[in-house]
């Protein structure tokens, strides 16, 4: 071997064959780690996709339905309890990411993993059996059924439709179950802000709540960094901004008050406080819940509202309730639960 060749082999380090062998061994180790972890992660995590339900929406009033987030067989499926929140919890309802129900109609937002992942809004009848399935885009976030059970609305998060690729936008859809009329994206509605017709490509709607006439509704619209509460009309297909900084409205059973989350400064991950607006006096009042709530609240009755909050020590979510007049204290209703719906 010449001096040059010796120098070359020294600067090059181990031979090609040795490097390939070492890399192969490393690859085998890494593959083992990856496969082992994946197999363990997959074990016991079978996502329930069943829509079949062990119970229905019948059985008298005063029941609370919700999505159970407790580990085990019923995880991710709808369960029910008396409104008091006590007693055994039969699970075995449909598997949903978000759920709401009223007057014999259920709305179950599902997400199926796959390539690409798909989402669905599944309309359920009073036996919680599937009646209609609407394919959706994005990640289910809000579900609402009008008090009569006729109008359904949902909101999904979608990513990738703006130039800032890592930002999100929302898609809100409305379905009239009586006529079958479906609006997959309500962004086209005629919007009025400050008395003027408003056009902007960046409008996003979310969190619809319907009035008793199944025509009027409230929702949130966001545009240019601001959020507005809008009052919408199905027949004239128009909406007008009525108030700034009020998100995810929820109309009270008597239709006179609107509960919503209001953004407050310095709130961290969930910078919202729950407020209730009296629609007649236009006076709003903060509720006794001091924690940040990111949910569209549910009126348990005309005096109390319920909402989900992340649980302590890593539990996914609990349902709490608080008086709607600003008094009292928040009370834990159901552990390991989200998406409350009350059957009257």
Contact residues: another protein, CB under 8 A? 8, 11-12, 19-20, 22-23, 26-27, 30-31, 33-34, 37-38, 41-42, 45-47, 97, 111, 113-119, 135, 137-139, 141, 157-168, 170-171, 200-202, 204, 222, 224, 269-271, 294, 310, 316-317
Min. distance of Cβ 137 from another protein in angstroms?
Answer: 4
Min. distance of Cβ 71 from another protein in angstroms?
Answer: 14
Min. distance of Cβ 339 from another protein in angstroms?
Answer: 13
> What's the gap between Cα 298 and its chain centre?
13
Min. distance of Cβ 127 from another protein in angstroms?
Answer: 27
Pick 61 or 314: Cβ nearer another protein: 314
Pick 146 or 296: Cβ nearer another protein: 296
DSSP character string of 126-189: TTS-EEEEEEE-SEEEEEEE-TTS-EEEEEEEEESSSSSTT-EEEEEEEEETTT--EES-GGGS
Q: Is the dihedral of CA 48, 90, 80, 294 positive or negative?
A: negative
Q: Please list, in sequence order, all residues whose beta carbon lies within 8 angstroms of the beta carbon of residue 282, skipping any fewer than 6 positions away.
A: none
CA distances 8 to 22, 40, 118, 184, Å, are 20, 47, 56, 67
Note whether 168 and 133 are within 8 A (CB). Answer: no
Min. distance of Cβ 179 from another protein in angstroms?
Answer: 23
Pick 164 or 179: Cβ nearer another protein: 164
Pick 58 or 202: Cβ nearer another protein: 202
Q: Please list, in sequence order, all residues whose beta carbon lies within 8 angstroms of the beta carbon of residue 330, skipping any fewer than 6 positions away.
A: 288, 289, 291, 320, 321, 322
The residue assigned the tokens 């309730």 is: 321
Can you state the percent helix, strand and coil of the chain, rounding each to 5? 10, 45, 45
HSE-CB of 297 using CA atoms within 13 angstroms:
36
Min. distance of Cβ 172 from another protein in angstroms?
Answer: 13
Note whether 68 and 336 are within 8 A (CB). Answer: yes
Pick 146 or 205: Cβ nearer another protein: 205
Note whether 330 and 311 are within 8 A (CB). Answer: no
Min. distance of Cβ 150 from another protein in angstroms?
Answer: 26
Pick 182 or 211: Cβ nearer another protein: 182
Pick 118 or 178: Cβ nearer another protein: 118
Min. distance of Cβ 212 from another protein in angstroms?
Answer: 29
Pick 165 or 281: Cβ nearer another protein: 165
18 — phi, psi (to 5°)?
Answer: -65, -40
């Amino acid at each position: 071997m010449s001096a040059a060749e010796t120098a070359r082999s020294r600067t090059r380090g181990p031979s090609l064959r040795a490097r390939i062998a070492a890399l192969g061994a490393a690859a085998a180790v890494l593959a083992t780690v990856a496969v082992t972890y994946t197999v363990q992660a997959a074990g016991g995590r079978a996502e329930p996709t069943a829509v079949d339900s062990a119970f229905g929406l019948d059985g008298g009033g005063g029941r609370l339905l919700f999505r159970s987030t407790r580990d085990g067989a019923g995880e991710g499926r709808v369960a029910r309890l008396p409104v008091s929140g006590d007693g055994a919890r039969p699970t075995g309802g449909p598997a949903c990411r978000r759920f709401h129900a009223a007057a014999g109609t259920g709305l179950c937002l599902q997400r199926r993993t796959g390539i690409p992942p798909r989402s669905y809004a599944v309309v359920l009848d009073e036996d919680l059996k599937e009646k209609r399935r609407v394919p959706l885009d994005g990640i289910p976030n809000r579900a609402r059924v009008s008090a009569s059970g006729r109008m359904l609305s949902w909101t999904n998060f979608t990513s990738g439709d703006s130039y800032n690729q890592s930002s999100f936008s929302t898609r809100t859809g409305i379905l009239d179950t009586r006529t079958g009329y479906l609006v997959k994206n309500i962004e086209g509605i005629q919007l009025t802000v400050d008395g003027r017709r408003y056009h902007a490509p960046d409008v996003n709607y979310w969190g619809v709540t319907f009035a008793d006439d199944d025509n009027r509704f409230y929702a949130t619209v966001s545009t240019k960094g601001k959020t507005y509460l809008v009052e919408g009309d199905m027949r004239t297909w128009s909406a007008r901004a009525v108030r700034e900084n009020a998100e995810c409205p929820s109309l009270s059973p008597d239709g006179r008050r609107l509960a919503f989350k209001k953004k407050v400064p310095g709130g961290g991950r969930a910078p919202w406080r729950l407020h209730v607006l009296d629609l007649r006096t236009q006076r709003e009042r903060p509720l006794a819940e001091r924690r940040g709530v990111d949910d569209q609240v549910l009126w348990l009755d005309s005096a109390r509202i319920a909402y989900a909050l992340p649980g302590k020590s890593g539990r996914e979510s609990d349902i709490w309730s608080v008086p709607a007049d600003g008094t009292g204290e928040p009370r834990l209703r159901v552990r390991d639960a989200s998406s409350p719906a009350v059957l009257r």
